Amino acid sequence: MNNQASNPANLLGLDYTKEAAGFKKFEQPLIDVHTHLIGNESVRIYQRAAALYGIGLSYSMTPLEYLPIIKQIMGETVRFIAVPRFRGSDPIYDHGAGYIERLKGYYKQGARIAKFWTAPRIFALLDRPFASHPLKLNSPLRLQTIQAACDLGMILMVHVGDPDTWFKTKYADSARFGGKREQYDSLEDILSRFTVPVIAAHMGGWIEDLNFLSRLLESYPHLYLDSSATKWMVREISKHAGKDVQRFFSRWKTRILFGSDIVSSDSLEGQAAESRQMSEQLTFELYASRYWALRKLFESDYHGPSPIADPDLSLIEPGRYSELDAPDLHGQSLDQDLLERLYYKNAAELLDPLFMEKTKTEIP
């Protein structure tokens, strides 16, 4: 250990480089199906952390304009997921006609997954009630955009729901954000209308309720989940009884993909030399901590504190927890077959055929 207690990504003072050597070895590299990579130096640091923790391929939601630089840095170890513009002044255009145009650009660059983000935060972009909001996943605007992605031959990734704690606090205004169960009405409508594979990010947005996720997976055989959003997964999976997690992952062993939700940025570029070394170390620990925590969660019997601060604890019990407190992490010790399925086999079987097909020369 080293004295890094002030780093919210390393509360335990771990040497993440040395720690990486202690994890299981697999016949094939791991595949992370959910990252957000942007920048130059930060991506090189991510690349180092990913390699140390066995990641051989990353799927990234990189803005279209940054694809060439990320591809130049990472080569064949990165594939791209299409995303709309998120900071424009017109969300109707950005998630509608503007996204349709960007989808074509992504397709030409080899992307074969289109992301549709309907976390409840999106409903605050426009002053409309949840019940009739034009950015709901099954609104006419979204249906048109989803159809455009399908016409290109893309599959879908969706973000629906958010942690239960947020619906008790940040999203308490249900008229504006909707209740948690209401988020899934539009998802089920999409799953009924479209038969292409759909990856529901962050364990479908409801890792707190394994029975609900099982019902969705049973009802829609083209639905898949990814394990991204590390803090959320660590906190909530650790709360479940180990036998329940084992049973869930065993039942759906071909339908769950490994993902981290690591976000890199270009904040390192342009820093003064004297602060750069510290910034690079903190950035490395940020990325490495996510892989450390997820791999500890899935493949070990570790029972102890997470090294990552989780501000969600303080949302519900602000007097008991601060934003620098961390939950306990209870390793689930998934067996080898489940780990291989989770870490790389499921992603390879689902996504390799898509990303290896020839790009169409004519795009509608």
How large is the average pLDDT for residues 332-337?
97
DSSP sequence for 88-155: -S-HHHHHTHHHHHHHHHHHHTT--EEEEEE-GGGGGTTT--GGG-TTSTTSHHHHHHHHHHHHHT-E
Q: What is the pTM of this model?
A: 0.95
Q: Which token pair is 66?
A: 């940054």
pLDDT at 2 over 50: no
User: What is the percent of the chain with per-residue pLDDT over 70, rounded to a whole number?
Assistant: 94
State the pLDDT confidence band at 273, using cuts at 50, 70 and 90.
Answer: very low
Q: What is the pLDDT of residue 41?
A: 92
Domains of the chain: 16-355 (3.20.20.140)
Structural contact between residues 245 and 234, judged by C-beta atoms closer than 8 angstroms: no
> Collapsing DSSP states into helix, strand and coil, what is residue 199?
strand
Mean pLDDT, range 51-73, rounded to an integer: 97
| Residue range 207-222: mean pLDDT, rounded | 98
**Letter string b/e over residues 81-103, b meaning 16 or more CB atoms within 10 A of that residue's CB:** bbbbbeeeeebeebbbebbbebb
pLDDT, tens digit (0-9, with 9 covering 90-100), for 281-309: 999 999 999 999 999 999 999 999 999 99
Q: With cut-offs at 50, 70 and 90, classify the pLDDT of residue 107.
A: very high
On the question of pLDDT at 88 being above 90, the answer is no
Pairing of strands 30-36, 256-257: unpaired
Residue-level pLDDT at 275:
52
**What integer pLDDT is reported at residue 242 of this predicted model?**
86
**What is the model's pLDDT at position 358?**
75
Pairing of strands 328-330, 303-305: antiparallel
Tell me what pLDDT residue 149 has.
98
Cα angle for residues 65, 68, 69 (degrees, 5° grid): 100
The pLDDT assigned to 269 comes to: 54
